[in-house]
Structure formats: C-alpha cells, structure tokens
Amino acid sequence: MNWWTPQVEATLIAMVQAVVILLAVVVSGALLSMIERRLLALWQDRYGPNRVGPFGLLQIAADMLKIFFKEDWIPPFADRTFFVLAPAIAMASLLLSFMVIPITPGWGVADLNIGILFFFAMAGINVYAVLFAGWASGNKYALLGALRASAQTLSYEVFMGLAVMGIVAMTGSFNMRDIVNAQENVWFIVPQFFGFCTFVIAGIAVTHRHPFDQPEAEQELADGYHIEYSGMKWGMFFVGEYIGIVLISALLVTLFFGGWHGPLLPPIVWFLLKTVFFVILFVLLRAALPRPRYDKVMSFGWKVCLPLTLVNLLITGAMILLIDPGV
Amino acid sequence: MSDPVSAWIASYWATGLFVVAVVALCGLMIGAASLLGGRSHGRSKSLPFESGIVGAGTARQRFSVKFYLVAMLFVIFDIEAVYLFGWAVSVREVGWTGFAAATVFILILLAGLVYDARVGALDWAPRKRGREDASRARELAAVPGVERHAR
C-alpha cells in the first residue's frame, strides 16, 4: 500500500475528530432542550418531561420526529430567500465557532492563530440571522424584535471583545491553545475577574438567553423575530440557541477556567465537567432571575460594562509591564 | 502527527470537512423538513400575526432613529476595540510607549462615552414625566431668563 503514509493517517484522524466534535455538539445542543426542561422543572418543584423513555431521555427523539413532519410554512407575505436563509445562518455561525475550541491537547478541529477573533466574527454574523429573520417575516412584532435583538447584541458585542483582551495581553496570542497552555498554573479567572464577569454577561446577551431575552419577550413581542417561523426552521433557531449556550460555556472554560487543565482526571473529563457546570449555570439563571427592562439592559451595557472593560484592559497592560515585561 | 507540516495539512482538511458538514447539516434540516411536512390551507392563515386582530398596514416601514444611533455608536466603539486588539497582542513588545498611547486613546474614548451619555444618546427610555418633572418645570418658569430647555 503506497498511499497509506503517516500524512494520510494523520489527516484521516483529524477529519474523523472534526465530524465527531460536530455531532457531539449538535446532539448535546438538542439534548439540552430536554435537560433544560427537566432542570427548570426540578427548580420549580414539578416533574418536567418524564414519560418518553427512561427519565424522559427519549423526549428529544419524539420532538425531533414531530418537528420534521410539521408543515414547512413560508408565509406568502415573507421574503422567501432571506426567510429560509436566516435559521441556517443562526445555526451554522454558532456551530462553526466550535472549530477554534481546543478540547484536549489532542482534540480540536482547527488550530487557528486568530483563534478568538474567529469566534467574534461568527458572533457578528449571527446578528444577521436575527435581522434577516425579523425583516423577511414581514411582521411588525418580528421587525420590532429583530431591531431590539440586533441593538442589544451589537451593544454587548462591543465590550465582549474587550473583555477578553486582558487575557490576550497576558498570553500575547489570539490562539486558543496558547491561551489554555498559559493557564497551567493559574486560571485566568483570578487575574481577570472583571473580564470574566463582563464576558459572562456579554455571552448571555449574545445568545439571547434569560435574563437578556428581550428580543423574545413573550409578554411584549409575542416571540420577537421568529414569530412567523414554524416547524424545523423554528427548531433551528431553538437548537441554535442551545448550541450558543454550549459554545459560550465551552469558551468560558477555555478562556477563564483553564480548559482541559485539572488534577487527577483525564483532560477530556475536566473539560466536559467544567462545560456542564456552566451550562447548568445558564439554566439556573433562567430559573432564578426576572427579566429587566429593555432600557436598563442597554444602559447597563454601555454605561457600566464598556468603561469597566476599557479600564480593566488598561490596568492589565500596566500590570504586565510592571510585573512581567518579558521581551 | 509528528512533524508540523503534516499536522497543518491535517488541520486544514479537518477544517474544510467541518465547514462542509455544517453547511450540509443545515441544508439537510431545511430540505428534509420541507419534503416531509404536510400542507394545509385556511382563510386567515396567510395573514401576519398581530395578536388576533386584523393587521393594520405592512411591516415594511421606516423606523425610529434610536436604532440607527446604536449602529453608529457600535461602529465608533467597535473600530476602537479593533485598535485595542492590536495593542493587546503586543503589550510586551511596545512597552511603556505603547501603554502611554493606549492610555491617551482609551481616555479619549471614555470622554466620548461620557459625552454620549450626557447628550442622552444612551438613554433608551423616554424622559420621565409626572410630578417631579412638572415641579421642575414650574421652578424653571419661576426663574426669570431661563427658558425651558428640551433635549
């Protein structure tokens, strides 16, 4: 066998890894819909879905079958192209961000030097999904919801990048593997606590999760930008949101909680444990917090978080030059 | 994956496959659902949802300038962030000189932010009305030479 070189073998292994990571992310995103309902039920003192399969685990299979056989309705007053494109963008942009997350020393799809910037780019593209959906639906609620959503997401993306820059300054690289390796002794949550706080807030706002779910506020906007969506297209927005939760949790672990580093247990177990912890925290936030008013959300982002990240970055820079000037 | 070149090539193939797989997955989900779903027709089905009442006008309309203001602020502060990204990766290389420049830059931006807040560009709620405001207006009217100022 002439063509079976170590090169081909390495390539094949990497490709299989990529597919496994993608499937794991999609499945965990889908499973989260059931897990979230169970957890919310637990905290609200009720059962939640527990009939289909053991502990209701097969609920997701039932939901998926149902949703695939729903009518695929495109409203006659909608702009067809953008109406179909929007849910695909919502899901694809977040899924693609998983490329840059290093899971263990040997696992991960792409080892990009721009690393974290790629995620910001994808988060930026994700805004288009909301805008397209809201505009193409031809519905006033949808339009209002989309404008709210994009205004909120843009406002919080401004300081999301700056929140991470403290870490980038300490590591001297955008590469996610370098960032994880720099946390071998001290996790970045210790020196970058304010960066962590602002990044969590921005992450929740960007995924439109409670308490930042203004765009979908049922009581005010009757579901916001995906009001005219039904069937699988709505399902894609829905799964996209859960994939966003997994993504932000994985990013928090990678950036602030040492990624795969941890004593005793193998790296993959540490990564998964930490990620699951943050996913559950996301659900707990939804169970515990009320939704603030829209103008409060906006002014909090601009007047508190943005100055905080700027000052944090400045102080981090000064500290690096004082303590560890390196070169 | 011993030598770096083969690791690079492997990573490129994996990246390409990942992108293709994501696109294929989204296409499959939309395509399969449109093939499998049923069809039904109804008299009121093709109306936009407006909480059960008959719709008034279309949703293709112009919108409050407030939302464009957000876009403008976003452009200003996000471009600024991009410059700071450049400084952040090279903090150690550019040393105190770069730090001084970044300080001036950030201070100007913070001044801009304070200005935006003061002129009310960051207020999303309508100005408070009611007794407090009315009494303030009366006070102002009582002072000679002070016009009631509206923002």
pLDDT at position A151 is: 82
The rounded distance, in Å, linking the Cα atoms of A146 and A139 is 10
Confidence of residue B127 (pLDDT cuts 50, 70, 90): low
Any CB–CB contact under 8 A between A241 and chain B?
A: no
Instruction: Write the residue in B1, B39, B124 that is nearest to A299 by C-beta.
Output: B124
The tally of CA atoms less than 13 A away on the side-chain side of residue A217 is: 18
Pick the residue from chain A with its C-alpha nearest to B125.
A295
B9 CB neighbours in chain A (<8 A) are: 7, 10-11
* Whether A286 contacts B109, CB under 8 Å: no
Distance from CA of B134 to the nearest CA of A (A): 23
pLDDT band at B129 (very low <50, low <70, confident <90, very high): low
Residue A79 to residue A131: CA distance in whole angstroms = 13
Are A141 and A222 spatial neighbours (Cβ–Cβ below 8 Å)? yes
Q: Which amino acid is at B103?
A: T
pLDDT of B151 reads 43
**What is the per-residue pLDDT across A287-309, written as a single tens digit (0 to 9) for each?**
888 888 877 888 888 888 888 99
Say how many Å lie between the first and final Cα of chain A, rounded: 49
Asked if the structure places residue A33 within a domain, the reply is yes
Query: 3-state SS string over B12-48?
Result: HHHHHHHHHHHHHHHHHHHHHHHHHCCCCCCCCCCCC
Q: B138 pLDDT band (50/70/90 cuts)?
A: low
Give me the residue from B7, B50, B99 closest to A140, CB to CB. B50
* b/e burial code for range A207-230 (CB count within 10 A of at least 16 → b): bbbbbbbbbbeeeebbbbbbbbbb
Q: Which of A26, A63, A72 is best to mutate for the B interface (most B CBs within 10 A)?
A: A72
A113-134 pLDDT, tens per residue? 888 889 988 988 988 888 888 8
pLDDT at A212 > cutoff 50: yes
In-domain check, residue B41? no
Domain extent at residue B129:
65-151
Judging by beta carbons within 10 Å of its beta carbon (0-12, 13-18, 19+), is residue A54 exposed, middle or buried? Answer: exposed
Locate the chain B residue with the closest alpha carbon to A107.
Answer: B11
Which of B8, B26, B63, B76 to mutate: most A Cβ within 10 Å?
B26
pLDDT of residue B135: 58
How is residue B77 written in tokens? 């502060």
Pairs across A and B, CB distance < 8 A: 228
Question: Does pLDDT of B131 surpass 60?
Answer: no
Neighbours of A129 (CB within 10 A): 28
Q: Hey, how many other C-beta atoms are within 10 angstroms of the C-beta on A194?
A: 18
Name the token pair of B141: 């009217």
Sorted by sequence, the CB contacts under 8 Å of residue A7 that are 6+ apart come out as B6, B9, B10
B45 Cβ contact list (under 8 Å, min separation 6): none
Cβ neighbours of A7 (radius 10 Å): 16
Is A96:B19 a contact under the CB 8 Å cutoff?
yes
Asked if the structure places residue B76 within a domain, the reply is yes
The residue ranking higher by pLDDT, B21 or A77, is B21
Give residue-wise pLDDT tens across range A57-79: 888 888 888 888 888 888 887 78
Torsion angle, CA of A202/A306/A145/A122, rounded to 10 degrees? -50
User: How do residues B79-100 score in pLDDT, each as one tens digit?
Assistant: 888 888 888 888 888 888 989 9
Cross-chain residue pair B30–A84, CB shorter than 8 Å: yes
* Mean pLDDT, residues A239-254: 90
| SS3 state at B50 | coil
Chain B residues touching residue A140 (CB < 8 angstroms)? 48, 50, 55, 59
Number of domains in chain A: 1
Whether the CB of A236 is below 8 Å from some CB of chain B: the reply is yes
Mean local confidence (pLDDT), A75-95: 87
Chain A touched by B115 (CB under 8 Å): no
Residue-number span of the structural domain to which A146 is assigned: 6-323
- CB of A217 less than 8 A from some CB of B: no
Q: Is A269 on the interface with B (CB under 8 A)?
A: no
Does the pLDDT of residue A261 top 60, yes or no? Answer: yes
Distance CA B105, CA B99 (A): 10
Q: pLDDT by residue (tens digit) across A121-172?
A: 898 898 888 888 888 887 878 888 888 888 888 888 888 888 888 888 888 8
> To the nearest whole number, what is the mean pLDDT of chain A?
85
A321: chain B residues, CB-CB within 8 Å = 91-92, 95-96, 99
Q: Considering only the beta carbons, identify the residue of A298, A307, A325 that sits closest to B124.
A: A298
Chain A hits for B88, CB-CB cut-off 8 Å, are 165-166, 168-169, 313, 317
Q: How confident is the model at residue A277 (pLDDT cuts 50, 70, 90)?
A: very high
- Measured between beta carbons, the chain B residues lying within 8 angstroms of A88 are 26-27, 30
The CB density around residue A264, as the number of other CB atoms within 10 Å, is: 6
Axis crossing angle, helix A140-171 with helix A193-206, rounded to the nearest 10: 150
Distance to chain B for A207, nearest Cα, Å: 18
Could you say which of B21, B77, B103 has the minimum Cβ distance to residue A19? B21
Q: B43 — contact with chain A (CB < 8 Å)?
A: no
Burial group, residue A307, by CB count within 10 angstroms (0-12, 13-18, 19+): middle
Give the number of other CB atoms < 10 A from CB of residue A17. Answer: 20
- Say how far residue A25 (Cα) sits from the centre of its chain: 11
What residues of B are in contact with residue A220 (Cβ under 8 Å)?
Answer: none
Chain B neighbors of A75, CB-CB under 8 A = 46, 48
Within 8 A by CB and 6+ apart from A252, the residues are A196, A199, A200, A203, A278
Percent of chain A exceeding pLDDT 70 equals 96
Nearest-neighbour CA in chain A from B35: distance (Å): 8
Residue-level pLDDT at B150: 46
Q: Is the pLDDT of residue B40 over 50?
A: yes
pLDDT at res. B24? 92
Distance separating alpha carbons of residues A205 and A131, to the nearest angstrom: 16
Q: For residue A53, what are the contacts with CB-CB under 8 A and spacing of at least 6? A: A59, A61
- Contact B59/A140 with Cβ under 8 angstroms? yes
Asked if B95 lies within 8 A of A67 by C-beta distance, the reply is: no
Q: How is A171-207 classified by DSSP, letter by letter?
A: HT---HHHHHHTTSSS-TTTTTHHHHHHHHHHHHHHT
The radius of gyration of chain B from alpha carbons, rounded to an integer in Å, stands at 28
Residue with tokens 């997350």: A101
The CATH number of the domain holding residue B139 is 1.20.58.1610
**Residue A292 in domain:** yes
Does B71 score more than 50 pLDDT?
yes
Please give the tally of structural domains in chain B. Answer: 1
B142 near A CB under 8 A: no
Residue A211 has pLDDT above 50, yes or no: yes
Is A161 exposed, middle or buried, given 0-12, 13-18 or 19+ CB atoms closer than 10 A? buried
pLDDT band at A176 (very low <50, low <70, confident <90, very high): confident
Q: Does residue A1 lie in a domain region? A: no
The predicted structure's pLDDT at residue B126: 67
